[in-house]
Amino acid sequence: MLRQMADRLQGCIGADQVWDVAVSVLPDLDIDAAIFVDATNPNAVRVRSTADDHWTRTYQSSVQCGRDPFARVCLSRVEAVLTGVGHLAAHDYLTLPEQEEIAIGSAALGISTGVSITSIPGIDGAGAGWNLMTRLSAREFSELYADREAEWRAWSQLTFASLWFMSGVRKPSALSVRERDCLAHVADGLRVAEIAARLGIAEVTVEMHLRNARIRLDAKTRDQAVAKAVMNRMI
């Protein structure tokens, strides 16, 4: 199924066609609703969802204002995070208003459980990723997730790569200052620990910036990312 989806995506012209192809296979993956959030540029947050335009615009405003806990918390993490009203007990950091907002949003979509899958993690939610949701109970979702996790991740990665390519953001200006700094230090032969000490940040943060730069440059390795950055006069 995902192979057929990949073949169809190759013939797409524009992000709207990519989205239409991607969401057309969601029923086969047992997903009832999906949200994509790109907050890599906090001043120009982009949201796509299977909900109606009004819900999507309202949610985009919530993300833009920093009110949405999914964007603020989940997009900062590499690991998947269970979401939805069915999993609220696992998120004791949520305030009562945030819990109420999640409940209202979930009711509007008719869903109760889901999982966030991050494509590009970012500090304080300045990342990009997905919320894949179902109408199942928490117990039912756990069983489904155990069976479908690999397919959901593959779908997310495939759709994200296609949207990212169509968006035209793969250009030198897409790299953040920190990503350029980290790549430049790698080019100078510094190790991660040395870069962290030089920039005054944690080693895990350096790794995150290097990983994000590699994704943005469509590079398979760190060395290839450095080479592309040098060739494009980014560092």
Residues 119 and 193 in one domain: no
What is the CA 16 to chain-centroid distance, rounded?
18
Q: Which of 116, 110, 127 is nearest to 211 (CA)?
A: 127
Residues 83 and 191 in one domain: no
Residues 9 and 64 in one domain: yes
Q: pLDDT tens, 159-191?
A: 887 787 676 544 544 788 899 999 989 887 788
Q: pLDDT tens, 64-95?
A: 887 787 778 888 887 888 998 898 888 888 88
Domain count of the fold of the chain? 2
pLDDT at 172: 47
Q: pLDDT tens, 124-161?
A: 777 888 999 999 999 999 999 999 988 898 888 788 87
User: Domain boundary at 167, 187, 211, which?
Assistant: 167
pLDDT at 37: 92
Residues 61 and 141 in one domain: yes
Residues 47 and 130 in one domain: yes
Residues 48 and 104 in one domain: yes
pLDDT higher for 66 or 197? 197
Average pLDDT over residues 210-226: 81
pLDDT of 204 higher than 80? yes
* pTM of the shown model: 0.70
Q: What is the pLDDT of the chain when averaged over all its residues?
A: 85
Strands (E), the chain: 33-38, 46-49, 81-83, 113-120, 128-134
Residues 119 and 195 in one domain: no
Q: Is-contact 193 203, C-beta < 8 A? A: yes
Residues 156 and 93 in one domain: yes
For residue 177, the enclosing domain spans: 172-231
Residues 158 and 190 in one domain: no
Q: Give the CATH number, domain containing residue 79.
A: 3.30.450.80
Q: Give the CATH number, domain containing residue 185.
A: 1.10.10.10
DSSP helix/strand/coil, 67: coil
